[in-house]
């Protein structure tokens, strides 16, 4: 028997094998007749033909299309609901040579992600966005999407979408083409083979424009969702043709080159920007020849106005001067004054993997609330520095060491409560011996213009160091006394 000639085969941009659990192994995640598989195929073929598989990064959203990462053998990033075009922005800016694809459904892009897509388009991010418009939330069982048609029933518009109550369908291609920056915006459809071929062309064009660095490209694809529409695949295609096309006219909404703008600003390094002097490399060499620095992860917590965030910034900047990899992650509520605030600071020899600090080496608790909230996160080898003469009554024993530093009182005696955070910084420096106090003075000198306040801050650091020294000596003496007593009693 003659061999069949293979005229069509799976794109090499798809994984050789799709992993699925149990009895689902022989089917894809997508329902029969769903448009996602078709759009996947068009994108995969285009990437393969362009020879850009190794440079492609796919950003999967939330929705049925999240499963894209099981199929595309490319770089894959999964974004929180609606954030795909923002994530794609970051991925592209960090990797300008890559081909970045933001793939999003209508719930994802046009409801929860409205702000992200508009601003990515308006900034002219050099990414390609494929917007799969099936006029409904597919994955979650058929809630109304911004693109749901007037009169169309959904679980959240059971009487059909009524403009008086739910507004009108959102025309995303039209909306984005009112902006200056996008270079290419087209709406295509999957309702018959002729249109699938047009969609194929549009997908290619968007990716080619991105490859050539042209600018923001956007293809909206009218796509069937037979399961949620409760139709057969054939009925779904017909429904697109008869109902959706009237509301979402197909066509090219934008296809133009951007006029060149000359608005580049001089590029400076972080060290130059922060007036740190020298390069990071020089600092690394210098720090390697001086003292060994252990990694340090700190949580500084208190209320807004106590200089919590500034203390973290100073520490991070000191780390940078010492050639460390650093991160500073602030967190505060809507009430910046008097509300709770904390920041995580990491000082490390290697690049910081995550700026989150779940179990700090040191917790600087500037007030009682922070002490109660965060002390339990400090491990047995960690230390708490508490701003107070003694611990609050009834405070439970902790795993790590606790030092009470009456920082507010010390700062008050120096003439200003504002220096409380600097007293705590002094205590922290004395405790950890990670960074020299001279470095703190240098950072402060660059930040504090008021000479009187600068002097008080430097004094506060010294006093904080002294306070911690005395406490540690006292704790050491106590521990010895306790050992001696034990030895005598044996
Ligand atoms: C922050 C957040 N809110 C809500 C959800 C629940 N959720 C999952 S998928 C989805 C709708 C996705 O619809 P669409 O973008 O139209 O994609 P489709 O499934 O139709 O392809 C929602 C609301 C979630 N995962 N995360
Ligand atoms: S629910 Fe709709 S969008 Fe989701 S896989 Fe099924 S047909 Fe596709």
DSSP line for 181-200: S-SEEEEEE-SSHHHHHHHH
The pick from 32, 63, 133, 139 for probing ligand 2's pocket by mutation, whose C-beta has the most ligand atoms within 8 angstroms, reads 139
Write the DSSP symbol of residue 243: I
Name the pTM for this structure: 0.73
Q: Please give the backbone phi and psi of residue 229, each rounded to the nearest 5 degrees, phi first.
A: -75, -10
Q: Which atom of ligand 2 is nearest to the CA of 36?
A: 8
Q: Which residue has the tokens 């240098």?
A: 442
Tell me which H or E stretch contains 255.
Answer: strand 251-255
Q: Which atom of ligand 2 is nearest to the CA of 132?
A: 3
Residue 277 makes CB contacts below 8 A (sequence gap 6+) with 271
Where does residue 463 fall: left (phi above 0), alpha (psi -120 to 50 degrees), or beta otherwise?
Answer: alpha
382 alpha carbon – ligand 2 mean position (Å) = 50
Q: Determine the pLDDT at residue 292.
A: 47
CB neighbourhood size of 18 (10 A): 15
| Tokens standing for residue 318 | 């000191």
Measured distance CA(429)–CA(184) in Å, rounded: 55
Q: Is residue 134 lining ligand 1, measured as CB closer than 6 Å?
A: yes
CB 383 within 8 A of CB 402: yes
Task: State how beta strands 340-348 and 325-332 pair.
Answer: antiparallel
Nearest alpha carbon, ligand 2 atom 2? 225
CB 218 within 8 A of CB 101: no
Query: What is the three-class DSSP state of 119?
Result: helix
Closest CA to 18 of 29, 32, 31, 8: 29
CB 347 within 8 A of CB 327: no
Side-chain-facing half-sphere of 128: CA atoms under 13 Å: 26
Residue 113 makes CB contacts below 8 A (sequence gap 6+) with 61, 81, 82, 83, 84, 85, 86, 104
Residue-wise pLDDT tens for the chain (490 aa)? 567 777 678 899 999 888 777 777 778 889 999 999 999 999 999 999 999 999 999 999 999 989 999 999 999 999 999 999 999 999 999 999 999 999 999 999 999 999 999 999 999 999 999 999 999 999 999 999 999 999 999 999 999 999 999 999 999 999 999 999 999 999 999 999 999 999 999 999 999 999 999 999 999 999 999 999 999 999 999 999 999 999 999 999 999 999 888 888 888 877 777 766 555 555 444 444 445 457 999 999 999 889 999 999 999 999 998 889 999 999 987 765 667 899 999 999 999 989 999 999 999 999 999 999 999 999 888 999 999 999 999 999 888 899 999 999 999 999 999 999 999 999 999 999 989 999 999 999 988 899 999 999 999 999 999 999 999 898 888 777 767 776 776 6
CB 448 within 8 A of CB 457: yes
Measured distance CA(171)–CA(356) in Å, rounded: 39
Q: Within 6 Å (CB) of ligand 2, which residues are found?
A: 30-31, 34, 36, 64, 134, 138-139, 225-228
Q: Which ligand is nearest to the CA of 107?
A: 1
What distances in angstroms separate CA 146 from CA 105, 111, 157, 220, one per listed residue? 11, 6, 12, 14
| Tokens standing for residue 17 | 């094998």
């Amino acid at each position: 028997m003659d061999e069949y000639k293979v005229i069509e085969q799976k794109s090499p941009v798809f994984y050789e094998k799709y992993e699925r659990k149990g009895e689902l192994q022989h089917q894809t995640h997508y329902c029969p007749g769903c448009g996602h598989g078709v759009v996947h195929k068009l994108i995969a073929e285009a990437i393969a033909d362009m020879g850009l598989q190794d440079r492609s990064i796919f950003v999967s959203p939330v929705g049925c299309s999240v499963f894209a990462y099981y199929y595309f053998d490319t770089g894959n990033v999964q974004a929180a609901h609606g954030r795909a075009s923002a994530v794609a922005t970051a991925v592209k800016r960090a990797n300008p040579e890559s081909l970045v694809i933001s793939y999003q459904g209508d719930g994802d892009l046009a409801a929860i992600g409205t702000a992200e897509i508009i601003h990515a388009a308006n900034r002219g991010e050099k990414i390609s966005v494929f917007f799969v418009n099936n006029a409904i939330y597919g994955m979650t069982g058929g809630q109304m999407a911004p693109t749901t048609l007037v009169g169309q029933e959904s679980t959240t518009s059971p009487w059909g979408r009524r403009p008086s109550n739910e507004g009108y369908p959102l025309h995303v291609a039209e909306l984005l083409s009112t902006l200056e920056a996008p270079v290419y915006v087209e709406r295509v459809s999957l309702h018959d083979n002729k249109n699938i071929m047009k969609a194929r062309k549009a997908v290619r064009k968007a990716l080619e424009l991105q490859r050539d660095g042209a600018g923001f490209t956007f293809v909206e694809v009218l796509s069937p969702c037979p399961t949620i529409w409760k139709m057969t695949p054939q009925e779904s295609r017909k429904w697109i043709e008869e109902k959706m096309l009237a509301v979402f006219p197909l066509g090219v909404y934008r296809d133009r080159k951007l006029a060149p703008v000359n608005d580049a600003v001089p590029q400076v390094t972080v060290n130059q920007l922060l007036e740190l002097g020298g390069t990071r490399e020089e600092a690394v060499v210098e720090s390697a020849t001086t003292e060994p620095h252990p990694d340090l992860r700190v949580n500084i917590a208190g209320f807004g106005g106590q200089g919590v965030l500034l203390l973290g910034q100073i520490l991070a900047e000191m780390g940078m001067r010492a050639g460390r990899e650093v991160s500073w992650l602030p967190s505060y509520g809507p009430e910046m004054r008097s509300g709770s605030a904390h920041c995580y600071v990491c000082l490390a020899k290697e690049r910081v993997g995550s700026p989150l600090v779940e179990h700090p080496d040191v917790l600087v608790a500037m007030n009682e609330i922070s002490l109660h909230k965060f002390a339990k996160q400090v491990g047995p080898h960690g230390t708490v520095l508490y701003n107070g003469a003694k611990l609050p009554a009834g405070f439970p024993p902790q795993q790590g060491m606790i030092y009470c530093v009456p920082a507010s009182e010390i700062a008050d005696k120096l003439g200003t409560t504002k220096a409380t955070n600097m007293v705590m910084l002094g205590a922290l420096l004395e405790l950890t011996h990670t960074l020299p106090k001279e470095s703190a003075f240098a950072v402060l000198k660059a930040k504090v213009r008021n000479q009187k306040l600068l002097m008080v801050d430097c004094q506060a650091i010294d006093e904080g160091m002294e306070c911690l020294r005395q406490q540690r000596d006292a704790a050491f003496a106590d521990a010895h006394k306790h050992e001696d007593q034990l030895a005598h009693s044996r």
